[in-house]
Amino acid sequence: MSEQSRRAQKKALTRAHVRETAQRLFAERGFDTVTIADVAAAADVAVQTVFNHFATKDELYWSDRTPWVEAPAAAVRERAAGVPALTALREHLVADVTAYVTSLATVEGRRMVTTLAGSPALQAAERELHFEAEERLRAALLAAWTGPDAEQPTPADPRATAGLVAATWLATTRVLVTEPRDPLPAPEEVPARAAATHALAERLLRRYETDLTAHVAQAARTEALRAS
């Protein structure tokens, strides 16, 4: 291993150690009461070392915990050829909410929820992240329906439809992942909750997909008849 590789590995290990220490402290003491100095002391590193890896305390909490912000849009953009955007989105969201509820049986999942429940500031940040995910998904759907390789048939008003789908579908999944957090189920109860969440998510999102797909197809047929 080269010297550069060793330095990079040491840096990654230090970052992971600081993050793990901070997230443990947040869960034990509450996010709002823990300081960067507390994190540095518990991790046995200098305060500046913490700041070298994380610019803010919020970043320490959210680090490696926000793939869900980009993932719905990525599911649409990176779908396999021939797979409709809504189908790719539904399959991703059903899998994602199921995985999230399943994670509530783990130490990491329970830590995250415990900390979040005790901090209005983090709850507000989570809502902002949700809106960011919604905007990214809206843009991805609009591109899928208006880009150079737009799928057919497309909604009559792609912009409005993309906004509606992003808002409605992500609001649905947000309820599905937040409802099991209060109260947090015992670890042994989580598998049943995850199975129930999976079934409900699949039923709701498939209905949304079926209804919208049928509406778009009917509108396309009507437009074709008018043009003939």
119 and 103 Cβ atoms separated by less than 8 Å: no
pLDDT at 30: 95
Q: What's the whole-number average pLDDT of the chain? A: 94
Q: What is the pLDDT of residues 64-103, one digit of tens each?
A: 999 999 999 999 999 999 999 999 999 999 999 999 999 9
In order of their start, the domains of the chain are: 3-62 (1.10.10.60), 67-227 (no CATH)
Residues 6 or more apart whose CB falls under 8 angstroms from that of 173 comprise 93, 96, 97, 201
In angstroms, rounded to a whole number, what is the distance separating the alpha carbons of residues 99 and 153?
Answer: 32
Among candidate residues 138, 144, 139, the one with its CA nearest the CA of residue 85: 144
How does residue 1 score in pLDDT terms, banded at 50, 70 and 90?
A: low
Q: What is the pLDDT of residues 103-134, one digit of tens each?
A: 999 999 999 999 999 999 999 999 999 999 99
